[in-house]
């Protein structure tokens, strides 16, 4: 190997590492945005209201049917 090919290889390896770091940073940012969006959606949901059934309903299960 001559010196110029070693320099090209070194530069290529360094650029690849920088691209990977950038890709990882973008992916982490996207995950943070998705997490924030999901949290906002969950907070926007109305609270579950208990069913307003008469007191005699839901107390017994008919297992013979």
pLDDT in tens, 1-18: 577 787 788 888 888 888
Confidence category of residue 65, pLDDT binned at 50, 70, 90:
low
pLDDT at residue 36 is higher than 70:
yes
Distance from C-alpha of 9 to C-alpha of 23, rounded to nearest angstrom: 21
Q: How far is CA 36 from CA 2, 13, 23, 40, 44, in A?
A: 52, 35, 20, 6, 12
pTM for this predicted structure: 0.54
* Interatomic CA distance for residues 55 and 22, integer angstroms: 61
Would you state the torsion angle of the CA atoms of residues 48, 49, 54, 56, taken in this order, to the nearest 10 degrees?
Answer: 30
* DSSP H helix total and E strand total for the chain: 1, 0
pLDDT at 6: 76
pLDDT tens per residue, range 37-62:
999 999 998 877 777 778 887 778 87
pLDDT value of position 62: 78
């Amino acid at each position: 190997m001559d010196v110029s090919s070693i320099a090209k290889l070194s530069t290529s390896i360094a650029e690849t590492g920088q691209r990977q770091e950038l890709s990882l940073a973008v992916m982490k940012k996207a995950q943070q945005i998705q997490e924030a969006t999901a949290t906002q959606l969950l907070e926007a949901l109305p609270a579950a209201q208990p069913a307003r059934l008469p007191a005699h309903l839901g107390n017994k299960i008919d297992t013979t049917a």
